[in-house]
Amino acid sequence: MVPRLQPVEVPRVVDRSTGGADRSRAHVMRVIIVDTEVASRRTLRELCAHEPDVDVVAEFSDSVVALEAARASPPDVLFLNVHMTPLSGVAFAKALESFTPTHIVFISAHDRFARDAFDGNATDFLVKPLDGVRFRYALTRIRRRLDLERLAKQQLGLSDVLQQVEQSTRTLCQPRRRIIADSGGRMHVLDVGDIELIESEKNYVTLTVGRDRYTARCTLLHAEAAMASQRMLRISRSRLVNLTHVREIGRTPRGDVIVLLAGGVAVTTSERYRHSVRQELGRIQLNTREG
């Protein structure tokens, strides 16, 4: 069983001029301290307490227990003693590496172990007795790295959005297909973007546009292929709705989803497709209302 992170009572340095707001930075660094020496952990807590954007969420003297906790709830920064048993600091870091991008600051009384520490992907190395100036320098480096990581994630997210916009633009620029269908003995040419609902029966499909209904000789699969430029949702074995025209969502007492289309037609999901319909509607963030 993975142990729960235990909060540590950390003294706070409060700026009285700001009404006691000691968390003014937008991003607070979650810190875990792992050291077998009580005095070393206390010194680290005191140094962290003077940094308004640092929150010590847990501390450990047992490296194995600490590793399980860090895997379960990865911190932003890990202060880690090099000399520990049964798991050394370097072994700890290598075991944690594949689970989290946590920034590791190694601590040791001997600077000759710095090389081993950096081989363990350390962000920084502090020598005991800990110095406040050197400690703050290490945090400054970590802040810069965290800011760069956040910026990279934002740029990656923006890139995904731009790709989606580009794909949507290409789709919109493509000429939309048209379907020839019958109504009252007359043939009509329908723009696929206007079709709200498709229902199949044997070798025919019924196409709903507003309050009007048209029939075409084809299977539901063929009709679905013709509607490829639209976002279609299968609500039963024989029904497809065009999500562009969905105006309201409700539910039956048994939990089936009722879809109200722009033209006023309401259709209900079958039990088989109930779950997949809810998932899709959740992705487009439509709020359901009890029916």
Between 89-98, 107-116, 121-130, the lowest mean confidence (pLDDT) is in 107-116
Query: Which sign, positive or negative, has the C-alpha torsion 98, 103, 106, 107?
Result: negative
What secondary structure does DSSP assign to the chain, as a single string? Answer: -PPPPPP--------GGGTT----SSSPEEEEEE-S-HHHHHHHHHHHHT-TTEEEEEEES-HHHHHHHHHHS--SEEEEESS-SSS-HHHHHHHHHTT---EEEEEES-GGGHHHHHHTT-SEEEESSP-HHHHHHHHHHHHHHHHHHHHHHHHHHHHHHHHHHHHHHHHHHSPPPEEEEEETTEEEEEEGGG--EEEEETTEEEEEETTEEEEEES-HHHHHHHTTTS-EEEEETTEEEEGGGEEEEEE-TTSPEEEEETTS-EEE--GGGHHHHHHHHHHTTPPPEE-
Q: With bands split at pLDDT 50, 70 and 90, how would you rate the model's confidence at 14?
A: very low
Query: Which whole-number Å values give the CA distances from 201 to 198, 210, 233, in the listed order?
Result: 10, 20, 18
Q: Which residue has the higher pLDDT, 99 or 287?
A: 99
Q: Which of 105, 103, 104, 111 is nearest to 127 (CA)?
A: 111
Provide φ and ψ at 232, rounded to 5°.
Answer: -100, 145
Residue 288 has pLDDT above 70, yes or no: no
Q: What is the pLDDT of residue 16?
A: 31
Q: What pLDDT is stored for residue 108 in this prediction?
A: 86
pLDDT digits (tens, 9 = 90+) for 39-87: 999 999 999 999 999 999 999 999 999 999 998 889 999 999 988 888 8
User: Could you give the C-alpha distances from 269 to 40, 52, 259, 262, in angstroms and in order?
Assistant: 63, 53, 8, 17
32: nearest Cα among 1, 3, 73: 73
Residue 239: pLDDT above 90? yes
Specify the pLDDT at position 23. 40
- Residue 176: what pLDDT? 65
Q: Hunting for tokens 């000399």 — which residue is that? A: 83
How far apart CA 79 and CA 44 sit, in angstroms, is: 8
CA 46 to chain centroid, in Å, comes to 34
More confident residue, 122 or 16: 122
pLDDT tens profile 123-182:
888 888 888 999 999 999 999 888 888 887 787 777 777 777 777 666 666 666 788 899
Mean pLDDT of the chain: 81
Only one residue has tokens 């190694």, namely 106
What domains are defined for the chain? 25-154 (3.40.50.2300), 178-290 (2.40.50.1020)
pLDDT tens figures, 185-225: 899 999 988 999 999 988 899 999 999 999 999 888 888 88
Structure confidence at residue 290 as a pLDDT band (50, 70, 90): very low
pLDDT given for residue 117 in this prediction: 54
Give the pLDDT of residue 120: 55
